[in-house]
A and B are shown apart, each in its own frame.
Chain A
């Protein structure tokens, strides 16, 4: 069986890639995708932990056994929210493109001093 730490390392790497993409990329679409990447990195760690928990027998410190589905449920929540966010975000991006005719975030800086 693949140990938990591998999942977590993969999750961390994905998350870091997401962060770097978020910070370094100028195209809004790419940034948006980086956010999705970070969300999915978190999702990965959620399911990894959930699986790990159940594999250990779901024992609480008190000795009571609880089969946890919350990790999985969280992942679905994140997916739903991400979908909604993607819908809203893409709408905003389209609106921005219509007015500014660019997707370069460095040029979407009207609030700058």
Chain B
């Protein structure tokens, strides 16, 4: 067995693909472009699978497995290496990213077949894979930050892929800028780590942290944890920085699936789980994480209720599910968070790709009110979305049930206000089930209303800007002209799109079986697998409150089986209630929703307008900032002070020179006078000195 896994190849293979397609793709045929992109992604997946298999625990290789290629930054005692880090956590992440990424690449070949900029799309997609894998495999925070910023760049490029559309370009900028706010906090956190432990390498930092008890390191650890957490709220779209993710749906659908559902947005969760040694020693920061996750989960779920754009429903659902993962991190149930991250990657990628298939089928339409009855027209898409919907709703034995149940169980057992958080989480589960089945019924049942514009006036006005964008989207989609009229135009997607969906559907069914808890006759394999990563850094001598949490997380629960089963039953019941209401409102009596919204008009409007958060940010932050920049910084500081100084220096020397040149008159007698005056001045000075003596 070799000790060198050449982990660098995993991120660099997609980079090679990106370079080839990005530099020369313009001259390639589409088939060549997709072959290159798929080849390098598949190679990366294969390499990752081989590396994981070789380094699998119990195979004689020590974990974490660190490979250092060289020094990147070297300044005094501080140095940052180019190093890669493979442990149980990065194993799962790398497989999810390369695996799901590969499937989405396949899907994109079909989905993007008629789009312009084909090579550009695949170059960006491969570039994203490179940065994401760097983020995951880095062995220090700074290299992780490179990946972190890089995926932000790729995300920006791909959201703004249809850059001729203003809304897409703006959404890209919004995503980038909002992420910068979080990144700033991440940087501060890194600086604090450097200041106190002199290194950013995971092994060094976690080793330095491990002897610190939560009480001793209170202020510092809490500060670092909060900074890192704020960084994560940006990338993982949590309150208060979640606003970019719904807008990011302007990107092509495979991008939404890959970047804004399955992989990139989970980077924050990964970072927190990776830093569990720090977070576990900062209980107050953990509480903040839990509360933010909880608020995000419920907040986004309610916003998802009123959306009519199929992709936006999924976007809010993603925010909500990320909130779940945050919540899990917040109660130190990192394994549960990673478990949910994995299952979520499967079913949410499936949902997005399925939605893409639906949009593809109906010729670019994204408004669910104009869909309906698609069940018989696109049966394969219908079935895969059905599986994903059941999975996300949390109905056993699909993947989402086990991971969500694991999180809710951990939250319930948590000592930090666990019951309230649990209740909110449960309510969110019900809402999730409701809006997902609402999507399901609206899209696949009833009658196809394509082309008719009979949707509620009010709602229509509210989402008018979004619609403008979608109009443009349908044009750029290429199918709009051929297929937008009549039922006959609706067509099932080609096999190259359906096949990845089927693989993901399979994963959405069985993906959760690796984490069946003990109470249901399983062994919670994923929890045990991740145990070394999540607990290795917690020293036993400080078995305080947080260490207790850790143990509870990974221990096989034996004595409270019945309680666990009851909790599971409750969450399934809530999911079924959500299903029932969705069935009632959107299938059985489709006239009811209008009546209800008419009754609670105010609340409905509030939810429809997403609680006016964007408007609030605009009024409270963006406008004052713009005013400050324009009036004070631009016209005040820049134009008046800085330009004033520069221009002043110029005009001052010009003026002084203009005056001084009169001395050099060219007139001999005036020179003579100056000589005489100078001489007189010297004499006067000498006399003065003589007198003074």
Contact = CB atoms under 8 A, between A and B. Distances in A.
A29 B672 CA distance: 15
Contacts, number: 29
B665 interface: yes
A105 B669 contact: yes
A113 B661 CA distance: 9
A111 B666 contact: yes
Contacts of B672: 22-23, 31
B682 to A, nearest CB: 14
B669 A113 contact: no
A100 B30 CA distance: 87
Contacts of A26: 669
A109 interface: yes
B676 A109 contact: no
A110 B666 contact: yes
A23 B677 CA distance: 11
Contacts of A109: 665-668
Nearest to A108: B668
A108 B669 CA distance: 10
A105 B668 CA distance: 7
B666 A112 contact: yes
Interface of B: 661-662, 664-669, 672-673, 676
Interface in A23-47: 23, 26, 31
B669 A23 contact: yes
A113 B668 contact: no
Counting chain A CB atoms within 10 Å of each CB, the highest count among B664, B666, B668, B673 belongs to: B668
A110 B665 CA distance: 10
A106 interface: yes
B673 A113 contact: no
The 5 lowest CB-CB distance pairs between A and B, nearest first, are A112-B666, A111-B666, A105-B668, A109-B666, A109-B667
A113 B676 contact: no
A79 interface: no
A111 B668 CA distance: 9
A113 B672 CA distance: 17
A18 to B, nearest CB: 10
B664 to A, nearest CB: 8
A63 B662 CA distance: 54
A31 B669 CA distance: 10
A107 B664 CA distance: 16
Contact of B673 (A23, A31, A106, A108): A23
A106 to B, nearest CB: 7
Interface in A68-113: 105-106, 108-113
B335 to A, nearest CB: 87
A19 interface: yes
Nearest to A28: B668
B666 A19 contact: no
Given A22-B676, A110-B666, 19 more contacts: A19-B676, A22-B672, A23-B669, A23-B672, A23-B676, A26-B669, A31-B672, A105-B668, A105-B669, A106-B667, A108-B668, A109-B665, A109-B666, A109-B667, A109-B668, A111-B666, A112-B667, A113-B661, A113-B665
A105 B665 CA distance: 13
A23 B675 CA distance: 10
Contacts of B664: 113
A105 B664 CA distance: 16
A2 B668 CA distance: 39
Contacts of A23: 669, 672-673, 676
A112 B676 CA distance: 20
A33 B668 CA distance: 16
Contacts of A111: 666
B679 to A, nearest CB: 8
Contacts of B673: 23
Contacts of B669: 23, 26, 105-106
Contacts of A106: 667, 669
Nearest to A26: B669
A109 B666 CA distance: 6
Contacts of A105: 667-669
A105 B666 CA distance: 11
Nearest to B680: A19
A97 to B, nearest CB: 15
Nearest to A35: B672
A22 B673 CA distance: 9
A112 B666 CA distance: 4
Contacts of B661: 113
Nearest to A24: B669
A26 B667 CA distance: 11
Contacts of B665: 109, 112-113
B667 to A, nearest CB: 5
B634 to A, nearest CB: 41
Contacts of B666: 109-113
14 contacts: A19-B676, A23-B669, A23-B673, A23-B676, A26-B669, A31-B672, A106-B669, A108-B668, A109-B667, A109-B668, A112-B665, A112-B667, A113-B661, A113-B665
A109 B667 CA distance: 5
A106 B669 CA distance: 8
Contacts of A19: 676
A106 B673 CA distance: 13
